[in-house]
Amino acid sequence: MGEQRVGTVTHYYTHLHVAAITLDKGDLKVGDTIHVKGHTSDFIQMVDSLQIEHDSVAEAKKGTSVGIKLKEHGREHDEVYKVVED
């Protein structure tokens, strides 16, 4: 198993447990497994849903900003990696 960096957390909405993530390096889709890593963050989870401008989407391309519900607390500047099979 390897990891490919796909983006960065730009904001975390504590009351919703949702992270705004800018996909600056790759694509992401529902069902992908992500690894969120930062100064104090380090967890892996599956992407259950993606939103762009409050609309649910099945996938998001590089260059877009998405909202993802996280199972743990995310922080600005955390890096997001897609877990990929080697």
Q: What was the pLDDT predicted at 81?
A: 98
Q: Which domains does the chain have, with CATH numbers?
A: 2-84 (2.40.30.10)
Report field, pTM of the whole predicted structure over 0.85 = yes
* First-to-final CA distance of the chain: 5
Q: What is the DSSP string of 27-71?
A: -EETT-EEEEESSS-EEEEE---EEETTEEESEE-TT-EEEEE-S
Question: Bridge-partner residues for 71, per DSSP?
Answer: none
pLDDT per residue as tens digits for the range 56-67: 999 999 999 999
Tell me: the pLDDT tens digits for 17-57?
999 999 999 999 999 999 999 999 999 999 999 999 999 99
Residue keyed to tokens 């992270």:
19
Q: Radius of gyration of the chain from Cα atoms?
A: 11
